[in-house]
Structure 1
Amino acid sequence: MERGILVRWNDEKGFGFIQPEDSKGKDVFIHITVLKHMARKPQVGDSILYRTEIQNDGKVKAIKASIEGVAVLASTSKNPRRNANPPSRSLSNTLLPLLLILGIGIFGFKKYTEFNAPPVLTNADIEQMPLYETSQAQFRCEAGKTHCSHMSSCDEATYYINHCPNTQMDGDGDGIPCERQWCSKSLF
């Protein structure tokens, strides 16, 4: 198995890209369906163990993957076999329900594969994806938090300057908050 870091993830569309550990190859496409057995959804920065496959168009995608350090969900337990049909039942009484169940199963499987089919990516989709997404849900505007000394990171300061009123963290007006404490100009 190969190892890499999840560098982009679109939770709404259920796909992202892994940067291989050796950094020599191109980023590897990964779809949520190969991670359905994991205890949580993937997040940018996760270490991913994966196997790849080259698609017909020459692009590389992950076909088996797991998030390193995240629990794998247990599959449903198998029930012991029981003889549900006594020998006295006729073949037609047994065959009809089996055919009905088979038909429903095939229909459900087709709908499942249609729903979980990987999306077709366009260049516009990829260009709209940020390189590293940060979860802004972790921050919220709080009364009295207006200065750099109230912040705990550059991400928090950036969130506050963009979303909260009366902040006083961008003295030179260049759009970079807390340059002396949290955000250095070399990062921007």
Structure 2
Amino acid sequence: MFSEGKVKIYNADRGFGFIQIDGEKKDVFFHIKDFPNKNTPPEIGENLKFRIVDDSGKFKADNIVRVDFSDSNQVAMNVIHQEYHQYRAREPKESKGYWGKVITIVGLAIIAVLGFKVYEKYQFYQASKQSKFEYFKEIQLKATEKIKESLGSLPDVVPLPQKEERRVQTIYSDRQNTADVNQSFSCDGRQHCSQMHSYEEAVYFLRNCPNVKMDGNHDGVPCERQFGR
């Protein structure tokens, strides 16, 4: 069964539109591929006859008949449509080629100007940075000279007080004697206090030799009973 209606909306760029059905509130979808002549675009208000079919769960117009177009009108429209598309096919190529070059040249000019501005800012930043460095370097040199002038000449070595010098010499002597004593001992596998000949030897073994058993209470003092410590 054919329905009748008029073209309500048509989007030429996307090739589809809607038909207002006589006596119905809901419009029906159509696509240009379903028109009898795809080269002649639909016109708003054009009268149509069509069938409503189910297309993947959605209704659309099919078997469309263009009521307002006679054969002579159809031929004239085809000729006009072909000439129009031939013109459109030539025009964009010429205009796009010219305007494309213009846009490219303008874009390159903008890039060149921006690059020059960035380079100028970078040069200014480097010059400012170098100037600040020289300024602070000069201030530091002047401050160093003032400190030297205020201190005057200082001796290379400052002598210690007599008591402090004797204390340092005593500490150095004790450490030297301990080092000399330690040089006479060596780890030879002995582990027990009964095998030690002196407290110094026990201390050496406890501090330097593995697996010794000379400090039962773990206070760092070996063989306390044997040597009365």
- TM-score if structure 1 supplies the norm length? 0.34
| Larger RCO: 1 or 2 (CA < 8 Å, sep 6+) | 1
- TM-score if structure 2 supplies the norm length? 0.29
- Tell me which protein shows more helix as a share of its residues: 2
